[in-house]
Structure 1
Amino acid sequence: MMSSSQQYLVFLMLLLFITRCVLLCTTDPTDGFINVPLTEDNFEIQRPYDVPLEERYSYKNGTRRLWVYADDKPHDPNSHTQPRTEIRIHGLDYSSGVWQFEGHAFVPNGTSGATILQIHGASHGATTIILRIYGGDMRYYSGQVMATDLYDKWFRINLIHDVDGGNVTVFLDGAQVFTTGDQGPGDLYFKCGVYAAPENISYYMESRWRDIKIYKK
């Protein structure tokens, strides 16, 4: 049998282990970051060029709702890209350091083939990362699934880009769900909303956002 001192030592070690587990489980992805204040000037709305803003975007009671149709025009008459209604975080472009987007998102059932969050810009290609919804699942571009069953519920999403380290990390509701290398540095900025994929898209696409924040180190 263990002596009382041995039992006490085991108890202390167990307590230390539990404390470390609790700390790890409750660590917030924004810890160590500095919040960058945002104003409405930072929220640039890109929408089909031939429709009024209020027909594709609303901002009520703290919730930003963005929607688009598969047969909508692009955001610019000279563009040949897919339809979109997106918030482009304006005035906070970056090319180095560690930056983070945070927001609470809601995707209604039926939206599919829609990019809801991206980092635009890269050395290789147009984007660093795209988070796209297919059938309620979140995918890296149209590939790896990082989360499932996201329809009709609010979820917190944190997207961290370590430019100097060359990687991006995704958290959902505080839990890390994905990490990958980036596509190299560039003129970088965050965008959220709905942007139709090249194929396999629903006719109607929508996402809602609240509590959008930007952090940096």
Structure 2
Amino acid sequence: MNIMNSTCYKGFMLLVFVGFFFIDFHLCNADPTDGFTQIPLSQKNFKLQKPYDKPLQQRYSYEDAIRSFWVYDKDKPFKPDSTTRPRTEVRVSGYDYSSGIWQFEGYAFVPNGTSGVTIVQIHGAAVGATSLQLRIYNGDMRYYKYNLVATNLYDKWFRVNIIHDVDKGKITVFIEGVKKFVVKDQGPGDLYFKCGVYAAPANSSNYMESRWKGIKLYRK
């Protein structure tokens, strides 16, 4: 009887351990998009900006579902009266937001040598022009020019997920499905996502390029 009780107890504890292991494993492998609803996007939702004096095909291509963006450090801004740095970017339009929980997803590729450039951002804020900029400096990703987000990103595709909980004022960045960075946003505003290449205020390489595929938008 004692032997049976001991065996049953060991079996019970094994089941408990396996259960906890399964729960922990499941949580560790949760996808950033779990619980979100994907928003349908079409070509009309992708609005392009590029140096105002250049034909689009000289700074952007869309082939085999890959969007390639490139710009030079001495290029003109996106319109003649702008004092901003050169850019070739796509704005996800039609879904500006000012409340709720929103998520951007895309796969990015940054070729070696591209540096001092924002590759994805949340435009709009109560203070300043943006709530988030993720920049590449020498193959590493930074929050603006400050906090290190991820390293060794040159010459490979990597998944980017950005969750913006407007009501809580919180932005969370995932790289390859792993939470890498959490930051307070810059306050409410007319908010939207952009990606491509936008030269940083200083220390930009002469040539800047990023490629994107699988761009999606979600909300909760």
Q: Which of the five TM-score ranges fits, normalised by the shorter chain?
A: over 0.9
Whole-angstrom CA distance in 1 between matches of 2:9 and 2:176: 40
Q: Deviations along 1:102-145, whole A, 9 cap, x unmatched? A: 00000000000000000000111111010000000000000010
Count of matched residue positions in the alignment of Structure 1 and Structure 2 = 217
Deviation >6 Å, runs of 4+: none
Letter in 1 for 2:79: D
Q: Please report the TM-score for the alignment, with normalisation by the length of structure 1.
A: 0.98
Pairwise CA distance, 1:6:
2.1
Letter in 2 for 1:158: N
**Which residue among 130, 135, 140 is the counterpart of 2:138?**
135
Q: Deviations along 1:182-211, whole A, 9 cap, x unmatched? A: 111100000000000000110000000001
1:214 matches 2:217? yes
Tell me the C-alpha RMSD between the 2 structures. 1.1
The equivalent of 1:61 in structure 2 is 64
Q: Secondary structure at the match of 2:145?
A: coil
Whole-angstrom CA distance in 2 between matches of 1:91 and 1:146: 29
1:70 matches 2:73? yes
**Which residue among 133, 149, 158 is the counterpart of 1:155?**
158
Letter in 1 for 2:149: M
Q: Please report the TM-score for the alignment, with normalisation by the length of structure 2.
A: 0.97
Whole-angstrom CA distance in 1 between matches of 2:143 and 2:81: 28
**Unaligned stretches of 5+ residues in structure 1:** none
**Unaligned stretches of 5+ residues in structure 2:** none
1:164 matches 2:162? no
Whole-angstrom CA distance in 1 between matches of 2:192 and 2:92: 6
The equivalent of 2:115 in structure 1 is 112
Q: Percent identity?
A: 60
**Which residue among 7, 30, 49 is the counterpart of 1:4?**
7
Q: Deviations along 1:139-192, whole A, 9 cap, x unmatched? A: 000001010000000001000100001100001111100001111110000000
